[in-house]
Structure 1
Amino acid sequence: MEKIQHDDSSKLFVPDFLIIGAQKCGTTSLYNYLIQHPQIIPAQTKEIHFFDIHFNKGWEWYCRQFPLALKPKENGITGEASPYYIFHPHAPNRIFDLMPKVKLIILLRNPVDRAYSHYHLIGRMGKETLSFKAAIQKEESRLKPELKRMLENENYHSTTYQYYSYLARGRYVEQLKTWMNLFPKEQFLIIQSEEFYCNPANTFQRVLEFLGLPRYDLTYYKKDNNGDYPELDLQLRNELAEYFKPFNLELYKYLGADFGW
């Protein structure tokens, strides 16, 4: 971990890695696996949301969200997972300005499944009253003015933009291009969620290798935040698959990997 020395002689630690998204793609499960590794020191909470929601609290506040890092284990590292980062318009530049060498982990799920899971999450929170079809039809009119306000005022926090971005968050290639225009590609590890769900042990080892850590096997790979909701109507699923098709094809070309969505 990189130490930052401040005027009060306290030592704060810059996170070595961030899981930046995407939401509803397995970030909680992956983070919970990682913090079981003996050389990974957990943050005070999985989702600190500094670079998207709490940026006005300041850099030292953020660093102090890693309290156990004050007594690091030998060769220990630390990090957090805030899946709104990948989608937030200001997060990429904020992170690059403060942590240009941080390692970035991204999980990507079939955007149709991701959107539907996201919708039910917001519904369980009591924040969505529309049907899924009505919500995605209304999405652009909900988000467009909020994004404008966010771009005009960096301190403006829009729960509308955060909650109701069902389709927009699944246009992954738009977001990745923004991030990869700032950070070199070798600082990213991109994981397909479906592969992670099918074989979490193998994916976990890939992440440890990316982080420069020795192999570590867990006894049990629990899947967190499982949602229980009805299957998506087949006609609407097919319509959304067509909607996402050009974005997915552009993503495959950009990354040189076909996720088969």
Structure 2
Amino acid sequence: MTVKDRIKSVAPRAAREQVRELMVRYGERTSDHRPLPDFLVIGTKRGGTTSLWRYLIQHPLVPRLFPAWNTKTSHYFEENWSRGEAWYRSHFPTRRQRAALERKHGGPSKVGEAAPLYMFHPLVAGRVADLIPQARMIVLLRDPVERAYSHWKERRGEGVEPLDFADALAAEESRTAGERERLLADPGYHSEAYDWYTYRARGRYLEHLEPWLDRFDRSQLLFVASETLYRRPAETYAQILRFIGLPSYELPAYDVFNDRPSKGMDEDVRAELSAYYKPFNAALADRLGMTFDWS
């Protein structure tokens, strides 16, 4: 590529970044007119949050985040907490925009975001309870063995995981040592290691859900097995819409987004993980009063 070609390729990116920054500033200046979200999809990573989010924003009464090119989350409660409430509000539509949607479609609009790290981060439940105590939370829970392997495959594909799966599991404790404690001690700290390499830890669901169960009424939390979402998407989608308070809506298709099929796991590793998670899964099922068709 010549220097001239490089300049041509950089210029559009720079222009887009400038426009994006202007939109963010506009969102912050108008933050007083932007209500906080009604619902959050808080987990789990590799559990179908992207698919569910794509289903939700196809509902005519669920607007996208602002600006429109934002994906499914602001990462406010874990990564961008120090930016403040005005910055967070800037990601959501104005009251006028929501009212226009409601007039057009004859129902209540509902706004949210989907961030699978929210469930796992030790401070997020308290932050959400303080800022949006009436919000409703949707929790997708996938077989933790399959979830861990899918998580590793994603990191591997992104080029941030040099180890094979067994070695990554063995290295997890040393890689993430002290990170949870630092997150608790420093509200402005963001840990890539805690996000990237917690393959095993994230599947101990109940310990990460207890802060949510302690702070919110059970009626505000909807727990859905990821496998159920994939096997019976229309039925599960209808259940989630009712939970959020939206009128029913049928999608033309329920495609799976961001899928990484968990084939090829070493059987010895699978057996070890299945045995490891067995007591954690039993405690989760007992606490939630649910059954899970997992390993």
TM > 0.5 fold call: yes
Q: What are the Cα deviations for residues 48-75 of structure 1, in whole angstroms up to 9, with x where unaligned?
A: 1100001111111111111465411212
Task: Tell whether the 8 Å contact from 1:42 to 1:68 is kept in structure 2 after alignment.
Answer: no
Partner secondary structure for residue 156 of structure 1: coil
Amino acid of the structure 2 residue aligned with 1:43: L
Normalized per residue, the structure richer in helix is 2
CA distance in 2, matches of 1:209, 1:63: 25
Match of 2:205 in 1: 172
Within-5 A mapping of 1:53-92: 53-67=79-93, 70-72=96-98, 73-74=101-102, 75-92=108-125
CA contact (8 A) 2:126 2:211 kept: no
In the TM superposition, what is the alpha-carbon distance from 1:12 to its structure 2 partner? 1.6
Alignment RMSD (CA, Å): 1.7
Aligned with 1:71: secondary structure? helix
Q: Does the 8 Å contact 2:77/2:128 carry over to 1? A: yes
State the SS of the aligned residue for 1:208.
helix
Is the CA contact (8 Å cut-off) linking 1:12 and 1:60 kept in structure 2?
Answer: no
Match of 1:244 among 262, 272, 277: 277
Counterparts in 2 of 1:101 and 1:10: CA distance versus 1, 3 Å: closer
Distance 1:91 1:236, change over 3 A: same
* CA deviation after TM superposition for structure 1 residue 31, in Å: 0.8
* Alpha-carbon distance, 1:228 to partner: 5.2
* Equivalent of 2:75 in 32, 46, 49: 49
Query: Which one of the candidate residues 253, 257, 275 is aligned to 1:220?
Result: 253
Taking structure 2 as the reference length, the TM-score comes to 0.83
Does structure 2 conserve the Cα–Cα contact (< 8 Å) formed by 1:69 and 1:78?
A: no
Alignment of 1:1-261 (within 5 A): 10-44=32-66, 45-67=71-93, 70-72=96-98, 73-74=101-102, 75-227=108-260, 230-261=263-294
Runs of 4+ in 1 over 6 A off after TM superposition: 6-9
What is the rounded CA distance, in whole Å, between the counterparts of 2:112 and 2:120 in structure 1?
19
Change (3 A) 1:100 1:133: same
- Amino acid corresponding to residue 31 of structure 1 in structure 2: W
Q: Distance in 2 between matches of 1:95 and 1:9?
A: 18
1:171 and 1:195 map into 2 onto residues whose CA distance is 19
Letter aligned with residue 48 of structure 1: S
- The share of aligned pairs that are identical, in percent, is 43
Deviation digits for residues 180-226 of structure 1 (CA, Å, limit 9, x no counterpart): 00111100011000111111111000001101111100011110001
Q: Under a length normalisation based on structure 1, what TM-score does the superposition of the two structures give?
A: 0.94
Cα shift at 1:124: 1.1
